[in-house]
Structure 1
Amino acid sequence: MRTSTRAFKTCILLILWICYLGTSRTFAQSAAQHATLMGWEQRTLNFMLDRSHNYGGTNYGRGLFRDNINLMSPEHEIDLLTYGFTLVDDFHWETSDEAYRLSFGSLNARDFAVENKIKSTYSFDSRNDFIINGTHEENLRASRLFFQLGYEHHFKGKHHVGGSHTFLNDKSDLDLTAYYRYGSFEEGMVYAGITFLDWTGNVVQGLADDSDNRYNDTYDLTFQYEKSPKLLNLKLVSPQMGNFRGELLAGLQTYTRKLVNPSGDSLDFRDEEWAHYIGALVEYEYAKGIVGLTFQRRFSKLRRQPARGSQFDEDFNNWQFSDRGGFFATGRFGLFQLEQWLWLERNVDRLQGERVPDDLAPDYLSNERRPFNFIERRLKIKSRLLYGSLKKGLQTGIEFHADYRYPQGEKAPGNGVRNFDFRNVYPIVRNRNERMTFTIGYRVNENFYLLGGISYDLDKDKQSGIGLPRITGTPTWFDGGFGRISLSW
């Protein structure tokens, strides 16, 4: 706790320095860098649009957004915080019609986290566009490659209507979207859309269930939606109003109910699911940069119980939600760029019921039914000092990343570890993660740069993911390497 307090005070001093320099007239003026939550929203939507390629597949029983997986290391979230693009980078992505970007970094001895994205807009004429969006994600939460192809028609007076369709290899996981938009992302907009999720699902799953190909394992588990899912989507993006700009993004996955047949009628079970997300951002532009506040919420709930007359042996509820409040400040002073990001989170992961799954814990623990009610407060910090021209040349930087976790559950008798019931299932909760990151790259021009980085471990992995002192393994200084490429044309 004392370590995180010192880090927090350091960040406050950096924020005050940014604001002080912003009032100084000794540096040349430069354009402000804006931020957006649109990238975060799209990553959230990917879990809804491409369910079959989320970890565990369409019928996974532990939450839509895969918040906790025991394949994760205790450093999983700080890895993503280090390797990924920021909200400022996401703004540049949103304002580009033709763009490609890549981020990748080490998650463990065998796996990279990889995100590839590409987008292109082809205009038939001044009123009609064909839109391509491609996504490739490889990480512990998902392994996906899918495209959204869309069409948009422009009316007079800033009115637009359009539609898109997802394309991937799972025939039952196709989604159809229709939307209306007034305005544009750059000038302010209102967007309302509806997506028919898995609209081919019942037909495809019915064909698989009736198939005579009994030797194909993919036909062993089928499902039928009794209440098909839809996604209602709203985006409000303000224009620049003086020094202020704001965003409000929201999505609701309607109540969903489906009957799942694992292999025989005697093991049928029924899933009911609810999910939504909300994101809000407000930023203030000053002479050298921006300061802003964010709020991000993701919620999913799953109720699984045996179908009538079934011998299925699980009956439980999942609740998983995260509320995150954030603060950020950026500034550019000559060739130096400063960024400070802070997030305070409240995370809940609850697994309760008469018969919860007995196969969630790692292999070294015996299979037991382990209900839990995990609640934590969490502080994440990202501080960046970058040096380099926005036009061309060498880019270098130093960054500090931290992830502090404060479980709120009862202390276990005997060892005093909070939420020991949860940590026995998911040994991924370490109270302190800190690293210093060094980056070097090259900007070819204003639209193309590539960058690499390595991190130095500050916390030395002294605590295990179960909340007890680490007794195996030798701490090392190296804490992961990564790379990024960004290109627009």
Structure 2
Amino acid sequence: MDNLFSPRLLILSVLVFIFQLSSVHTANGQDSTSTATLLGWEQRTRNFMLDRSHNHGGTHFNRGLFREHLNEMSPEHNLDLITYQFTLFQDYDFEQAKNVYRMSTGSLNATEFAIENTIKSDIAISDKNQISIDGYHAENIRANRFLFHLGYTRNLTGKHFLGVSHTLSQYKADLDATFFYRYGDFDDGMVQISASILDWGSNVVQDLAKDGRNSWNERYDITHQYSNRPELLSMKYTSSQYNRLKVELLGGLQTYTRKRIEVHADTSNYIDEEWAHYLGALVEYDHPLFTVGLTYQRTFSKLKRNPTLDSNYNFNNWQITNQLGLYAMGRLQAFRFEQWLWYGYDRDRIKGKKVPKKIIRHGDPFDYLEEPISIKSRILYDPIISGFKTGLEFHAEYSRPQGPKAQNGIRSFDFRRNYSIVRDYNARVTYTIGYRYSQHFYFLAGISYDLDGDKQTGRGTYKVIDDTTWFDGGFGRLSISW
């Protein structure tokens, strides 16, 4: 079973990739390609840094900033997101629009949906002044987020801009201010440098909470104080097209963070130190008949939980993801073809003298490594102006754990029996149907047929199933711009 699907899937995807590049040459030469961007991925990543109180487990969670592995996830969690979320092409359309709302939702399990709503509006209040409103709503296993950014941008002269934005959220201790300089714009190429002051009012708010504790108010049982408050330093570069080539470079560094946490209920005080960053790069060739591109995406978070005299905590954990992507898109009249391939190199490591039983319920601390391969293939009937949309999609994920085999023959069993969310292989075929009213409004719905039958558990063992499953979830997407 270890090597049953990976070579076949790779060969199939490469053949589809080559077919797309050759078949689109039969088109009538119309410019019907699309362009991708990593800016949507960057904003989702930044939201984990900017809105940490609404990440899974809250501000003081013990398993990494970006919540890569959680017991609440199903073994198909990543495949669900690949199926339901907008693609990088659709992210480009979102970034180009001045006023736009979009929604995606899909089934995560028997009782819950994953849902994401994003909205933005850029309002020119004069020739040189602009107000921007950006909203992000995400409910999935990793986050339960409702976050808005209110921003102001001033055109200094020519292509030079200065701006500021501020988060609007429920928790007073989790408010952030961002200052930026930008040269150029998204359409014609730009460079932007930003500095965000994270949790700027946290220490004052937490002091008030600590002083407000009494027998009638138990909501302040956990308080904290920063000795090193985090800042987020970031840059983004998007080029204009030159000889049909476009480049994007993105990066963000969260500065060293140190805080003391007081758990008043049981006096289990401890000190957290945290490091985090993200990187992204995209290179794209946009021919009149097809588009091809390469992407690289990386996230890094490290948490060191240090003991105090009255603490039982003493451990470190790292979560690192690296993903290399290849994509191609072409159009044959009203038919659109897309192929996506991703190769990952992901690590989840924990060690220490006192690791909580909530993290390691079985065995010893782990150092988990996987090299996943993910595939998304799309053949769509997709009129450019208006009309019905329909198509077939193929989605697959091959997890490829790299750890040693246990006595039962299962790789990385020490990790998988603590986090029963790693299945060797997941795959589905998805049928989609929708309607495009215009270039500014469309909706799409889909239903998936299960190809793997859910025969394997998240631990890598196999279940005895009388009737294999076939339904593998449904989803919907909606986009409106004005």
Q: How does the TM-score come out when normalised to structure 2? A: 0.97
Aligned to 1:401: 395
1:316 matched residue in structure 2: 315
In structure 1, C-alpha distance between the alignment counterparts of 2:245 and 2:292, rounded to whole Å: 10
- Larger mean CA deviation between 264-273 and 419-428 belongs to 264-273
**1:342 aligns to 2:336 (yes or no):** no
1:225-245 Cα shifts (integer Å, max 9, x gaps): 010000001001111112100
Alignment of 1:77-226 (within 5 A): 77-226=78-227
Match of 1:450 in 2: 443
Does the CA contact (< 8 Å) of 2:362 and 2:417 recur in 1?
no
Give the whole-Å Cα distance in 1 for the aligned partners of 2:38 and 2:340: 14
Distance 1:368 1:434 in 2: 29
Residue 375 (structure 1) aligned with residue 369 (structure 2)? yes
Q: Which moved more, 1:404-413 or 1:62-71?
A: 404-413
Deviation at 1:266, TM superposition (A): 4.1
Q: Aligned letter for 1:261?
A: E
Q: Give the equivalent residue in structure 1 for 2:14.
A: 12
| Structure 2 partner of 1:364 | none
Counterpart of 1:327, as a letter, is: L
Structure 2 residue runs without a partner (length 5+): none
Partner of 2:357: 358
Determine which of 401, 412, 436 is the counterpart of 2:406. Answer: 412
Asked if the contact 2:363/2:414 (under 8 Å) is kept, the reply is: no
Q: After TM superposition, give the deviation of residue 22 of structure 1 in Å.
A: 3.6
The total of aligned residue pairs comes to: 480
Would you say 1:470 and 2:469 are equivalent positions? no
Distance 2:214 2:247 in 1: 55
Shift of 1:13: 1.2
1:23–1:287 CA contact under 8 A, matched in 2: no
3-state SS, counterpart of residue 73 of structure 2: coil
| Conservation of the 8 A alpha-carbon contact between 2:280 and 2:297 | yes
The 8 Å contact of residues 135 and 147 in structure 1, kept in 2 or not, is answered as yes
AA matched with 2:62: G
Q: Please state how far the C-alpha of 1:27 moved relative to its aligned partner.
A: 2.6
Inter-partner Cα distance in structure 1 for 2:259 and 2:97: 40
- SS of alignment partner, residue 172 of structure 1: helix
User: Which amino acid in the other structure matches residue 126 of structure 2?
Assistant: D
**What's the C-alpha RMSD, in Å, of the aligned pairs?**
1.3
Q: 2:475 matched to 1:486?
A: no
Q: Secondary structure at the match of 1:48?
A: helix
The equivalent of 2:433 in structure 1 is: 440
Structure 2 counterpart SS, 1:407: coil
1:212, distance to aligned residue in structure 2 (A): 4.1
Q: CA deviation at 1:205?
A: 0.6
How much does 1:452 deviate? 0.3
CA distance in 1, matches of 2:157, 2:326: 38
Contact 1:245 1:283 in 2 (8 A): yes
> Does the CA-based 8 Å contact 2:226-2:258 persist in structure 1?
yes
Inter-CA distance 44–473: structure 2 relative to 1 (3 Å threshold): farther
Shift of 1:264: 5.8
Whole-angstrom CA distance in 2 between matches of 1:222 and 1:326: 42
The 2-side partners of 1:147 and 1:219 are apart by: 25
Equivalents in 2 of 1:474, 1:46: separation in Å? 41
Give me the whole-angstrom Cα distance separating, in 1, the residues matched to 2:5 and 2:404: 23
- Asked whether the 8 Å contact 2:194–2:235 carries over to 1, the reply is yes
| Per-residue deviation, residues 32-56 of structure 1 (Å, max 9, x unmatched) | 2000000000000010011000000
Label 1:369 to 1:266 Cα distance change in 2 as closer, same or farther (>3 A).
farther
The CA deviation string for residues 440-463 of structure 1, in whole angstroms up to 9 with x for no partner, is 000011110001000000011111
What's the % identity of the aligned pairs?
A: 50
Deviation at 1:254, TM superposition (A): 0.3
Cα offsets for 1:127-152 (capped at 9, x unmatched): 00000000100000000101000000
Q: Distance in 2 between matches of 1:473 and 1:83?
A: 29
Show the counterpart of 2:254: 253
How far off its partner does 1:475 sit?
2.6
- State the shift of 1:122 in Å: 1.1
Q: Which amino acid letter does the alignment assign opposite residue 248 of structure 1? A: L
Aligned in 2, Cα 1:154/1:50: closer, same or farther, shift over 3 Å? same
Deviation at 1:474, TM superposition (A): 4.7
Which stretch of the first structure deviates more once superposed, 95-104 or 207-216?
A: 207-216
- Tell me, in whole angstroms, the C-alpha distance in 2 between the residues paired with 1:217 and 1:96: 46
Distance in 2 separating the partners of 1:208 and 1:474: 55
> Residue type matched to 1:404 in 2?
Y
CA distance in 1, matches of 2:416, 2:466: 19
Matched position secondary structure for 2:14: helix
The alpha carbon displacement at 1:472 in A equals 6.1
Cα pair 1:359 1:368 within 8 Å, conserved:
no
C-alpha separation in 2, matches of 1:63 and 1:215:
33
Q: How much has 1:157 moved relative to structure 2?
A: 2.0
Tell me, what secondary structure is at the counterpart of 2:5? helix
- Contact 2:455 2:465 (8 Å CA) reproduced: no
Q: Is the 8 A contact 2:133 2:150 kept in 1?
A: yes
Structure 1 counterpart of 2:190, which letter?
A: M
- CA drift of 1:248 comes to 0.2
Q: Deviation of residue 466 (structure 1)?
A: 0.2
The DSSP-based 3-state class of the residue aligned with 1:59 is: coil
Aligned to 1:386: 380
Q: CA deviation at 1:66?
A: 0.3
Give the C-alpha shift of residue 473 in structure 1: 8.0
What does residue 269 of structure 1 align with? 270
Give deviations 1:142-200, integer Å, cap 9, x for gaps.
00101000000012220000000001111100000000000001100000000000111
Contact kept? 1:284, 1:291, Cα under 8 Å: yes
CA deviation vs aligned residue, 1:422-457 (integer Å, no higher than 9, x gap): 111100000000000000000011110001000000
Return the TM-score normalized by structure 1.
0.96
Cα deviation, 1:221-270, whole Å, max 9, x if unaligned, reads: 00000100000010011111121001000000000000000116842100
Shift of 1:8: 1.4
